[in-house]
Structures are given as C-alpha cells and as structure tokens.
Copies of this chain bind each other. A is one copy, B any other.
Amino acid sequence: MADVAALAKVSSQTVSRVVNGRTNVDDDTRERVLAAMGEAGYRPNSAARSLKSGQFRSIGVVLYTLSTFGNMRTLDAVTASSTLAGYSVTLLPVALDTEDGVASAVTRLAEQAVDGIVIIMEAQVLDRASITLPTGVPVVIVDSDAGSQFTVVDTDQVDGARQATQHLLDLGHTTVWHVAGPDAAFSARRRAASWRATLEEAGTPVPPPLVGDWSGKSGYQHGLTLAARKDVTAIFAANDQMALGILRALHESGRAVPQSVSVIGFDDMPDADSFYPPLTTVHQDFGEVGRLCMVKLLELIESNRPHPGATLVPAHLVLRSSTASPSRRD
C-alpha cells in the first residue's frame, strides 16, 4: 500500500479511502490511485484488514461429511447466500467417530478466522462437541434437536414424513412399511417417529421398521426382505438412495412398482425423476434451508446475542410414478 501511495503521490490513507470506496476523494486523485494500484499489482491484505476491523467477513461451516446429498446441497446454498452477503465460507470438516476428531475440530474452530459458524451435523456428535463450542461466536445448526439451546434451521421432517405416509394411506394401502435411516441420525429418528404417529392416528397397525444406513445397498437388502412378503404393498424409505435400492430389490423379485408395491422416498435428489419408475418423494428445499441459515447467522452476528429456537422449512410431496392404489386381490 505504501508503494501505491508513493506511485500515486498521495498518502497511504488516501489509498485506503479509494480501496474502501469512500466518497470524499477527488476524482483525479482516485484515478491516479487506481492506476497506481494496477501498476503495482496491489492486493489488499485481508489479514491486516481483519486485524484492524475485528471482523473477518467469513463464516465457517462445520460438517462431518460432504458425501451426503443433503449436506452438499445445504452447503451449496449457504455458500451462495454468504457470497451474496459479502462473506466467504471456510470449511471445517470433522473426522467423525473419534473423540480426537471432534476435539481437534473444536480446537481448529476456536482458532478460525470466522464471524459465525453453521453446523451441519448429527445431534449425537454435536452433543459431545457442544460443551466446548467457543463462546462469543454466533452459531446456527442444521439437522439437530438442539433448538432449545441454539438457533436451528431445518426442513420440517415431521410434516414431510407425515405427508408421505398419509399419501400412501390415502391411496388405500392398509398400512405402510418403513425403511429408516440410521438411528444415530436425528432426521432419521424424526422421520420414523412421524411415520409411526401417522399410522397410529389412522388406527392402522404399525409394522416393525427396518433400519438402514442411508445407502442404496442397505435399501436393497431391506427391499429383498420386504419383497418376499406378499402383504407389503407400500414402503416409505427415509431417503431416495435407499428407495433406489428398494426399487432394484422389488424388480429383481418380480414385484411391479407401483402395481404390486408402492414406494415413496425422501429428499427429491436430482435424479429421483430418472429412477425406474420415477420416484414419488418428499421434496426438501435445501436452498431455502441454506438461505435461512445465513439470514439467521447474520442476525446473530449483528445483534451479538443468542436467539435460540427452530425455524422449519416446509417440505412438499412430489408425485411421480412409484405410488398407486393397491391393486385388487380377489
């Protein structure tokens, strides 16, 4: 900056003013400074800027894996929103499963140059880490039940699972089987609970849920079990990937979808409409979730005090070809 100032024959303060777009700079001077900046290949030093201002114009996103569709879409949306707001995004991956991983993540967290943090993490991991969350840094959480303690944004999982289950009941199925996500995942538990509640409300018997791990493979395995039972006519999979595996199992077992068995998923991942048959599923608006995360986080950063509570983004059913009324059996 000193070089630029010398080149333009002004003080460094004037250069600073030009860089920050202050109005009280003469047009001639401004142009001279801009030219000098180009000539000197000047790049503002964000470290010094942050040091002076106490702000980083950056938010951290903590996640334990990027490899699920939902996390990725949420991250994408958060990134887009934060960029619009002039914030950059720093990724803070957590090595799951190990106490070390969580501990080192928290350590790194405390040292990161961020104004706020978005946590996209299962509740169970959070429980271990939350105790030592750095104080004084605003936090917004996705996919968790920590709503009483923190600001939480999430899809309305309960209503989504209810819609899926009710849709199958409305079609005339006597009951709905459920292939659930892993018990450790809070969203999986919520979807399963809502499925159960919906069946109970309708006064229909509740078949035992089959617990998968979100993967297509686990869906396939449970799908084989379900396909072998003639009384199964409707399946609610806790996500689309498992639904894909279920479809494969049903096809291989000679059960036609939707004629013999109806299948419904959750997420509406990009290619759910290219499944065979195209999958009826619950659409999650990840973009909106990400956007709200940033809105909430910016509020927290500006107000500088906690504001716990959950914000739910509605989910809606997308009707495709994998669900139908049960065919008559006489």
Q: Is B216 touching A274 in the complex (CB atoms < 8 A)?
A: yes
Interface residue ranges of A28-53 to B (CB < 8 Å): 41, 43-48, 50-51
Interface size on A, residues (CB 8 A): 55
Q: Is B51 a contact partner of A79 (Cβ separation < 8 A)?
A: no
Give A245's nearest chain B residue, CB to CB. B274
State the number of copies, please. Answer: 2
Write the chain B residue with the least CB distance to A56.
B47
What B residues does A273 contact at CB under 8 A? 216-217
The residue of chain B having its C-beta at the shortest distance from the C-beta of A135 within the complex is: B41
Contact assessment for A72 and B83 in the assembled complex, using a CB-CB cutoff below 8 Å: no
Across the interface, A216 reaches (CB within 8 A) one of B66, B67, B88, B270, namely B270
Enumerate chain B residues within 8 angstroms of A89, measured Cβ to Cβ.
Answer: 90-91
Chain A 245-268 interface residues, beta-carbon cutoff 8 Å to B:
245, 247-248, 251-252
A270-B91 in contact (CB<8A): no
A91 vs chain B, min Cβ distance (A): 4
Residues on B with C-beta less than 8 A from A112 are: 46, 88
Most buried by B among A91, A111, A274: A274
Q: Which of B217, B219, B274 contacts A241 (CB 8 A)?
A: B274
A167–B248 CA distance with the chains assembled, in angstroms: 24
Nearest to A19 among chain B residues (CB) is B111
B278 in contact with A248 (CB, 8 Å): yes
Q: Which residues of B contact A274 (CB under 8 A)?
A: 215-217, 219-220, 241, 244-245, 248
Are the C-beta atoms of A248 and B219 separated by less than 8 Å?
no
Residues of B contacting A93 with CB < 8 Å? 79-80, 83
**Contact across chains for A66 and B56 when beta carbons are under 8 A apart:** no
With A43-B134, A134-B43 as contacts: A270 and B51 at CB distance below 8 Å = no
Q: Say yes or no for A73: interface residue by CB 8 A criterion.
A: yes
Partner of A76, one of B67, B110, B136, B241: B67
9 pairs of A and B residues whose beta carbons are closest in the complex? A216-B274, A47-B50, A216-B271, A66-B76, A245-B274, A248-B276, A46-B113, A47-B51, A89-B91
